[in-house]
A and B are shown apart, each in its own frame.
Chain A
Amino acid sequence: MRTGEIVTAGVLALLSIYLMWKATELPVGYISREGPGGGAWPFWLSAIMLICCAMIGLNWWRGTSPPSRSEEPVLDSYGWRMLLFVGGAIIVFVGLVNVISMYGAVAVFLLYYTRFLGRHGWPLSLTLTIVTPIAFFFFFEGAMQITMPKGLPFTDPIFNVLYEIIY
């Protein structure tokens, strides 16, 4: 935890510096008779963030904040596995949206989670996997008129049939 605390503060400090640098694309000073320039708001707030990072660093050095006194690891082996299996699955899920469409990605993610992480039986997993995307399709495309990504063109025939049904 102790190392993690200072690394996090360091990353946030770098982010603040980047934001400050990016904000200088617009004037950050006080323009006479007009008030602050377009970059002033993000620039000075990022500067405060940087100061906060320094104070967090100071607290770390003095050991006054709880995480900076804790010697336990940020994530134990369970934590890392969880992050890999659950967090990784979310990344794959979003990555799949542009390939096999939003609905396809939902189905794959649900099947993986319920069957392989949740250890539910096939009947329940498959029911959820099939019913949820179809329910979503009719809710979003039919009732709400919100179109979701369709993925690569090879999904077209399926969606053309589905659209034939709802319109």
Chain B
Amino acid sequence: MEILSLLGQGVLLSLQPLNLLLILIGVTLGLFIGAMPGLGSVNGVAILLPITFLVPPGSAIIFLAAIYYGAMYGGAISSITLGIPGASTAVATTFDGRPLALQGKASLALVTAALASFVGGTVANVLFTLFAPVLAAVALSFGPPEIFALMLLAFATFVGLGGDDIPKTILSICLGLVLGSVGFDQISGAPRLVLFDISGFLHGINFLVLAIGVYGIGEMLWTIEQTRGEVTTTTARISVRGMLSDTRESVKRGWKGTAIGSFLGFFVGVLPAAGATPGSLMSYGVAKMVARRPEEFGKGHPGGVAAPEAANNSASTGAMLPMLTLGIPGSPTTAILLGGMVIWGLVPGPRLFVDESEFVWGLIGSFYVSNVVAVAVNLAFIPLFIWMLRMPFTILAPMIFVLSIVGGYAATRDMHDMWLIVIFGFAAFFLRKFDYPLAPAVLAIVLGPIAEPTLRQSLLLSSGDPSIFFTRPIAGPITIAALVLIFLPAIKLLRRGRGKTMADEG
């Protein structure tokens, strides 16, 4: 009951006119920052920090939560309208969001993304409110072996993502994993794979560099080449009635994905080091697995938009939990927030919940309000994004190229990475022509740098004995589940493949 009254105070604080105005500004700003390929909540929060000195801390927190929420919603927008995932958490959204947009159903995809995000955020907030201390203990019980087992589970969902050509799919996964290991070996503390001894590789290859290269340059070149430069996006009409029927359809076909994403995303997001990307990917995989017609996924199924979007919102809220309950940042954004808390004179750590309960519940209260405002603002802006899609392709295309380069630079601030984007873009264009699936590479570059260090930390812990992944109480079941999921379809595929060649020969 005490929790409820504290939460109520937090919500009331957010509803004061000044704070409500800040939320509105913050959400709108966040939406556009998130929609920009290359920029995300981390940029929004980083620029806001110095300003927090100028407004009362209570309002500063609320503004901050609003930007955070706005940016989470915004991530889906560039995935759907431009086909460029603006953040690693939104890669899975492109799988079905982009096809929907190309079929002229961008508004359906955007409505689905907004509603799923809203549900995901709300479920996460409620779980957060009810179970924060318990979940903090769960988060702590996840050491390196458990995180690695979880990564293995995320990799299992890859199996369904590739094309029909198995060697090309495996090659794509491995290429992503190897590119993710460029730069620095955390365990031995030595530089590694500094390609051609160019110092720009010392900081590794950022996920965004590969994603923008593949989707922003490569995919665009491919589209222009395939369509002879005459892209005809089915003119999407915008009307109130259209959006209402979109809402009905997205609820009807997306509720299952939303439910899966909301819960799965939250639990994965709570674990520091794992984060929202595996959460959204796993939710997509599970949603596809339980769907009545899995083959519709990847061709424009609203459920394929709902699951990752619900999951990444839910996980981003979940990532706040270890920060608030333990003082441990689960993502770069929460790390910067943590720095902000120090600037405001708070001590992050387990005592925060007790000593600064008003701050904590004020923040959580503002999550609830921001989430409601964010879904409203997002829905209100959908016609604008649809209108953008109706621009002549000869204007949209150069704008996408410019956004890719400028956004890419904003993300890493290194000219070396701009050249990499161009190289990846051209490489992706040709690989695409020869049916190499590239989404696995883009996801592998995110998961690899989490999986490899945790694998080696675990083996250091066990003195090189791999049975550590099976004997620990939490890691064991996850590992086994992952291995089953990985090998089951592989065996099926092999059998099918053998059957086919025999039929061919016969």
What residues of chain A have their CB less than 8 Å away from a CB belonging to chain B? Answer: 1, 4-5, 8, 12, 19, 22-23, 25-26, 30-39, 41-42, 45-46, 48-49, 52-53, 55-56, 59, 65-67, 74-75, 78-79, 82-83, 86-87, 90-91, 93-94, 97-98, 102, 106, 109-110, 113-114, 117-120, 128, 132, 136, 140, 143-149
What residues of chain B have their CB less than 8 Å away from a CB belonging to chain A? Answer: 33, 39, 43, 47, 165, 167-168, 170-171, 174-175, 177-178, 181-182, 185, 187-188, 190, 192-193, 195, 217, 221, 224-225, 228-229, 392, 394-395, 397-399, 401-402, 405-406, 409-410, 413, 415, 418-419, 421-422, 425-426, 429-431, 433-435, 452, 455-456, 458-460, 463-464
CB pair B178–A45 under 8 Å, yes or no, is: yes
Known contacts A42-B181, A75-B225, A149-B415: does B402 contact A19 (CB below 8 Å)? no
CB pair B464–A118 under 8 Å, yes or no, is: no
For the complex formed, measure the closest distance between the CB of A143 and the CB atoms of chain B, giving whole angstroms.
7
For the complex formed, measure the closest distance between the CB of A149 and the CB atoms of chain B, giving whole angstroms.
7
Known contacts A46-B174, A94-B419, A114-B395: does B464 contact A4 (CB below 8 Å)? no
Known contacts A32-B464, A41-B181, A41-B452: does B395 contact A120 (CB below 8 Å)? yes
Which of chain A's residues has its CB closest to B191's CB?
A25
A86–B404 Cα distance when bound, in Å, is 14
Task: Give how many A-B residue pairs fall within 8 Å (CB-CB).
Answer: 179
CB pair A87–B426 under 8 Å, yes or no, is: yes
Question: B residues within 8 A CB of A82?
Answer: 221, 224-225, 229
Question: A residues within 8 A CB of B224?
Answer: 82, 86
User: What secondary structure prevails in chain B residues at the interface with A?
Assistant: helix
CB pair B464–A26 under 8 Å, yes or no, is: no
Residue in contact with A46 in the complex, picked from B178, B195, B433, B463, CB distance below 8 Å: B178
CB pair B395–A148 under 8 Å, yes or no, is: no
CB pair A118–B413 under 8 Å, yes or no, is: no
For the complex formed, measure the closest distance between the CB of B239 and the CB atoms of chain A, giving whole angstroms.
28
Question: A residues within 8 A CB of B187?
Answer: 38
Question: B residues within 8 A CB of A37?
Answer: 188
The 3 A-B residue pairs whose C-beta atoms are closest, nearest first, are: A35-B459, A118-B394, A113-B398
CB pair B422–A66 under 8 Å, yes or no, is: no
A93–B408 Cα distance when bound, in Å, is 14
CB pair A66–B410 under 8 Å, yes or no, is: no
Question: B residues within 8 A CB of A93?
Answer: 401, 405
CB pair A52–B435 under 8 Å, yes or no, is: no
Question: B residues within 8 A CB of A98?
Answer: 415
A146–B40 Cα distance when bound, in Å, is 13
A37–B456 Cα distance when bound, in Å, is 9
Q: A82-B224, A90-B422, A149-B415 are in contact. List 19 more A-B contacts (CB 8 A).
A: A8-B431, A12-B171, A19-B193, A32-B464, A33-B464, A34-B460, A34-B463, A37-B188, A42-B182, A45-B174, A46-B178, A49-B178, A75-B225, A87-B425, A87-B426, A114-B394, A118-B395, A120-B394, A132-B399
Residue in contact with A39 in the complex, picked from B47, B192, B394, B429, CB distance below 8 Å: B192
